[in-house]
A and B are shown apart, each in its own frame.
Chain A
């Protein structure tokens, strides 16, 4: 360790590979978050429903995902589904599906608490001006809910971005996977892992800063 001599040329030679891999991870996170938000919203409404046939499956889904490791879900969907002759997913799609289901469960909890914390009086005001039930949701409940939950949604996005590193386990060429590959070929362990960490850190931090701007823009409204 003390005799370790840093040679950063390995990084400059592989810079394009690393940044491409980083962007791929970011893309996977954004797509999964988008799908996860939709799943989360639907399952949050389902969980809040008075109909047992809606609330029970949604509850089971959220608890199952929250209480099992993400890596297991990734393995199950990638290696397990083909056993049941479900083979139409390539590794990218399979990973996006895993991460979306995972994100969906966490978003479901965020949205559920957001929806239940909306003061009843806003809904009554919406009723009083004659808005129909779906209009009350679209124009009053959801906009208020998104503003309330924005900080939690931001946290989840950063978390999900870091979780894309798990895609390395099924050979999706994102940053962790590519870093390990370069490592294996060059044995420049420190340079590669330090660079990969710095790239994760910088990206996550930039995301956090951008989201804080968004939060500031909307937080003033509450």
Chain B
């Protein structure tokens, strides 16, 4: 038996009204792993990711982070929802990077990174500034630390957003289609930052349409189809040996990329 997984989801379910978007998702992420979710839009990838840090509340099943249930506490065998303050504490252990960057528009790049460090982790201003400087340099934006979001390109904004998430030293980083809103020529700079993070041992769970990247960096890939995990395994297996017609047809759309 291996060590306790960093993230373990069991039979996660989620409804939006009458529509069931997640029909029982199982997923395990070990420390240091990169796990990717692929699938057509509407398959539930993003919803699942948002359930992991409670931007959406799952209504069935269980998500454990280091063995602690996310969003709930068991009291006398009953699920009890955590209050917002406790939920916030859980979220601080998980970083998230969004499709639309979501940088705070009134703060500079450095201040965007520092906000969580000072207000959530309680670091003093000087220390937070050092950490922010360090991470902005790591994503190649050391020179742009005093720029406001509107003064940065999409790719630069997304790299600031990654720095903001990593600087909190989360246990797990979530990436929600982080290159989908970027102009094609800006995608590479963001992917290379993510690749470097993966190589440094950061545990990552990502939703992406960048199939080559997914195949390159992932330890494990899950193909979601209509709210279920249709196939899961190492990237070579999922990409080279699709078991279902749906996965074959999904991958077929990226035909040109794989060159076969």
Residues of A within 8 A of B (CB): 121-122, 124-133, 135, 139-140, 143-144, 147, 218, 220-222
Q: Does B120 contact A (CB under 8 A)?
A: yes
Q: Judging by beta carbons under 8 Å apart, are A128 and B88 in contact?
A: no
Q: Does B219 contact A (CB under 8 A)?
A: no
Q: Which residues of B contact A127 (CB under 8 A)?
A: 53-55, 88, 91
Q: Judging by beta carbons under 8 Å apart, are B55 and A122 in contact?
A: no
For residue A147, which residue of chain B has the nearest CB?
Answer: B106
Q: Does B109 contact A (CB under 8 A)?
A: no
Q: Judging by beta carbons under 8 Å apart, are A128 and B106 in contact?
A: no
Size category, B interface: 20 to 34
Q: Judging by beta carbons under 8 Å apart, are A129 and B168 in contact?
A: yes
Q: Judging by beta carbons under 8 Å apart, are A130 and B120 in contact?
A: yes
Which of A125, A135, A144 has the most C-beta atoms of chain B within 10 angstroms of its own C-beta? A125
Q: Judging by beta carbons under 8 Å apart, are B55 and A140 in contact?
A: no
| Distance of A220 Cα from B106 Cα, bound (Å) | 9
For residue B99, which residue of chain A has the nearest CB?
Answer: A121
Q: Judging by beta carbons under 8 Å apart, are B102 and A125 in contact?
A: yes
Q: Judging by beta carbons under 8 Å apart, are B91 and A128 in contact?
A: yes
Distance from A130 Cβ to chain B, minimum over Cβ atoms (Å): 3
For residue A128, which residue of chain B has the nearest CB?
Answer: B96
Q: Judging by beta carbons under 8 Å apart, are B120 and A128 in contact?
A: no
Q: Judging by beta carbons under 8 Å apart, are B89 and A130 in contact?
A: yes
For residue A222, which residue of chain B has the nearest CB?
Answer: B105
| Distance of A121 Cα from B100 Cα, bound (Å) | 8
Chain B 74-104 residues near chain A, CB threshold 8 A? 84-85, 88-89, 91-96, 98, 100, 102-104
Distance from B192 Cβ to chain A, minimum over Cβ atoms (Å): 23
Q: Judging by beta carbons under 8 Å apart, are B105 and A144 in contact?
A: yes
Q: Does B32 contact A (CB under 8 A)?
A: no
Q: Judging by beta carbons under 8 Å apart, are B165 and A129 in contact?
A: yes
| Distance of A135 Cα from B85 Cα, bound (Å) | 10
Q: Mark B126-158, 1 if CB is under 8 A from A, else 0.
A: 000000000000000000000010100000000
Distance from A125 Cβ to chain B, minimum over Cβ atoms (Å): 4
Q: Does B115 contact A (CB under 8 A)?
A: yes
Q: Which residues of A contact B161 (CB under 8 A)?
A: 125
Q: Which residues of B contact A144 (CB under 8 A)?
A: 104-106
Q: Judging by beta carbons under 8 Å apart, are A139 and B96 in contact?
A: no
Give 20 CB contacts A-B under 8 Å.
A124-B55, A127-B54, A127-B55, A128-B55, A128-B95, A129-B168, A130-B91, A130-B93, A130-B116, A130-B120, A130-B168, A131-B115, A133-B84, A140-B115, A144-B106, A220-B148, A221-B105, A221-B106, A222-B105, A222-B106
